[in-house]
Amino acid sequence: MARCPGSALYFNSGDELMLIALTATLFALIGLVIGAGGIRLLMLGGSPYYLIAGLGFLLTAFLLFRRRHCLHLP
């Protein structure tokens, strides 16, 4: 696993991995609900804020599932 600059987070115990998986699942569910609401609001002519916030939660869940704590962009 590549380290992120300035980071020293490593998770090895089963309890920590279970907590991360539960947190990622919770973030994914929140992201789906907020994102779906955001799509509905956009269809009604509203702001894209909730769609973007939902995508942010889904990205966080994805990174947690991958056990990564930062995203390396090209």
| Position 2 confidence tier, pLDDT thresholds 50, 70, 90 | low
The torsion angle over the Cα atoms of residues 20, 25, 27 and 31, rounded to 10 degrees, is: 160
Least confident range from 19-23, 44-48, 69-73: namely 69-73
The number of CA neighbours under 13 Å toward the Cβ of 67 is 12
CA angle 14, 17, 23 (to 5 degrees): 140
d(Cα 16, Cα 3) in Å, to the nearest integer? 18
Average pLDDT over residues 8-27: 78
d(Cα 64, Cα 58) in Å, to the nearest integer? 10
Whether 74 has a pLDDT exceeding 80, the answer reads no
pTM of the entire predicted model? 0.73
Whether 18 has a pLDDT exceeding 70, the answer reads yes
Average pLDDT over residues 9-27: 79
